[in-house]
């Protein structure tokens, strides 16, 4: 399959699926990024990008999770 065929298929997707494709591409780029560290010592930035690409932070976009305002708490 040629890149132009893939691009045409992606362009025909509805918006929600485009976001999923983008997340997957980000995941692939992060996963196959060259690195020279042992598997148990990945940099925090890479782990954060992998978690984000995998949807680990999607719950933060839920309005029900936005329970605090600027008026909450005490001044520091």
Task: Give the mean pLDDT of 42-46.
Answer: 79
The band of 38, judged by pLDDT with boundaries at 50, 70 and 90, is low
Q: Range of 33's domain?
A: 9-65
What are the distances in angstroms from CA 15 to CA 10, 58, 67?
Answer: 10, 16, 28
CB of 50 within 8 A of CB of 27?
A: yes
Record the pTM: 0.39
The answer to whether residue 2 is domain-embedded is: no
Helices (H) and strands (E) in the chain — how many of each? 3, 0
Is 76 within the bounds of a domain? no
Q: How many domains does the chain have?
A: 1
Q: Provide the pLDDT for residue 66.
A: 86
pLDDT tens profile 12-35: 999 989 999 999 988 888 887 765
User: For residue 4, is it within any domain?
Assistant: no
């Amino acid at each position: 399959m040629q890149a132009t065929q893939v691009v045409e298929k992606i362009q025909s997707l509805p918006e929600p699926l485009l976001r999923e494709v983008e997340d997957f591409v980000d995941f692939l780029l992060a996963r196959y990024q060259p690195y020279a560290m042992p598997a148990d010592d990945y940099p925090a930035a890479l782990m954060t990008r992998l978690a984000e690409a995998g949807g680990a932070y999607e719950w933060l976009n839920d309005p029900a999770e936005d329970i605090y305002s600027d008026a909450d708490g005490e001044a520091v």
